Amino acid sequence: MSPAETLGLGLLLGVRHALDPDHVVAMGTLVGREGRSSAAFRAGLSWGVGHTVSVLLFGVAIVLFGLRVSGAIERAVEAMVALMMIGLGIVALRRRDEDDLERRASRLERVRPAVVGLVHGLAGSAGLALLAMTTLPTRGLALGYLVLFGAGTTVSMGLATAALSVPALYLRRKAASRVFVRVAGALGLVWGSGLLVALFVQS
């Protein structure tokens, strides 16, 4: 595979990675907070930036310093993701009306997608990209692959979140946004609980 093909593969895998079910479910619990598709797009980009920061840090450590992550650490990070998903689900299920959301808007709310992306980036779901990096012939090509993987993930999540916001905004106008938010919250709660149980069984 030529360097150009390798870099292109990194970009495509990044686009695909953003659409992993747990990522979409997590952003679904947050998208109802946004009043416009453009705001949802920015929230998705924020998630992508947080995710890319984690992957870049791990990738640079692997490429430059030969970092190896133990199975125990991987399981601990996956447990962190599971707890985060459960927390997002509970918050979404407890969410009240739009006026309440506006009163509670804060700096924490604005950075929440980035924090969610940061935690997801730490988890093993990005491991395939990092594994592929270690097999590339040069450090420069490996780092380029990683950067394009992150770019693909970020843009893809921005677009996916904007698309996800369309039915949410429609339901909001129909005074039924609570249904969308609570369904997303329930999915997040179930997904996180299932992951936590699976980790417990494996251990």
Per-residue model confidence (pLDDT) at position 108: 59
DSSP string, 107-133: HHHHHHHHHHHHHHHHSGGGHHHHHHH
Tell me 12's DSSP state: H
Taking each helix axis as running N to C, give the angle between helix 21-31 and helix 37-65, from 0 to 180 degrees, rounded to the nearest 10.
140
* Residue 47 dihedral angles phi and psi, to the nearest 5°: -60, -45
Output the pTM of the full model.
0.79
Check: CB of residue 14 under 8 Å from CB of residue 148.
yes
Check: CB of residue 2 under 8 Å from CB of residue 137.
no
Per-residue model confidence (pLDDT) at position 183: 81
Give the whole-angstrom CA distance, residue 23 versus residue 20. Answer: 5
Tell me the pLDDT of the chain (203 aa) as tens digits: 788 888 998 899 899 988 888 888 888 777 766 557 788 888 889 989 999 898 888 878 877 777 777 777 778 888 888 898 898 888 877 765 554 545 455 555 678 888 888 888 887 655 666 676 677 888 888 888 888 998 999 999 999 888 887 776 666 655 556 677 778 788 888 988 998 898 888 87
